[in-house]
């Protein structure tokens, strides 16, 4: 499939069931059918910065994991594998997760996600997140397609 890039949030909503405040992805900047690159703007008024931590706001690691996971789900949807109106692509496991750097407000998190393997309704992905080319997190995760 080919798309006019970048895709914005209203485009992303056509493929994912998530909505604000849990829709994390702001843009798709690259897609080739086997991998995707997305961007997330870390706004200072994001809910997670309020309490994590008030005097030193840091994006929680699980939120970064969610960003990578949403990127994988979007990759599968853009490939035509998933219709969010009928199915849900849900996490089944995380492996090899490494945290390398904090993510602060007013930064752009760049997520790279690759489909490593697909077998029927099971998916394996690898992903990483970067800020200005510096590695923030890397992980591998699996997901399964389930009926709603």
- Considering its fold, how many domains does the chain have in total? 1
Q: Which domain holds residue 59?
A: 9-147
Q: Is residue 84 annotated as part of the catalytic site, yes or no?
A: no
> What CATH number is attached to the domain comprising 141?
3.10.129.10
Question: In angstroms, rounded to a whole number, what is the distance separating the alpha carbons of residues 12 and 47?
Answer: 21
Residue 101 lies in a domain: yes
Residue 115 lies in a domain: yes
Name the pTM for this structure. Answer: 0.96
> Which residue among the candidates 18, 43, 52, 84 is catalytic per the annotation?
52
Mean pLDDT value across residues 22-26? 96
Report pLDDT digits (tens) over 41-76. Answer: 999 999 899 899 989 999 999 999 999 999 999 999
Q: Who contacts 2 (Cβ-Cβ below 8 Å, separation ≥6)?
A: none
Question: In angstroms, rounded to a whole number, what is the distance separating the alpha carbons of residues 67 and 3?
Answer: 21
Residue 1 lies in a domain: no
pLDDT of residue 84: 87
Residue 3 lies in a domain: no
Please, which pLDDT band fits residue 1 given cuts at 50, 70 and 90?
low
Question: In angstroms, rounded to a whole number, what is the distance separating the alpha carbons of residues 40 and 85?
Answer: 24
């Amino acid at each position: 499939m080919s798309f006019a890039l970048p895709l914005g949030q209203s485009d992303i909503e056509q493929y994912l069931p998530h909505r604000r405040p849990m829709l994390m992805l702001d843009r798709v900047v690259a897609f080739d059918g086997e991998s995707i690159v997305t961007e997330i703007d870390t706004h200072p008024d994001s809910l997670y910065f309020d309490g994590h931590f008030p005097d030193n706001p840091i994006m929680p690691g699980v939120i970064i994991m969610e960003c990578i996971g949403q990127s994988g789900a979007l990759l599968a949807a853009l490939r035509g594998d998933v219709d969010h109106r009928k199915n849900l692509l849900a996490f089944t496991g995380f492996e090899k997760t490494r945290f390398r750097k904090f993510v602060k407000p007013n930064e752009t998190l760049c997520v790279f996600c690759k489909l490593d393997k697909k077998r029927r309704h099971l998916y394996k992905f690898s992903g990483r997140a970067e800020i200005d080319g510096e590695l923030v997190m890397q992980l591998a995760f699996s997901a399964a397609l389930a009926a709603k």
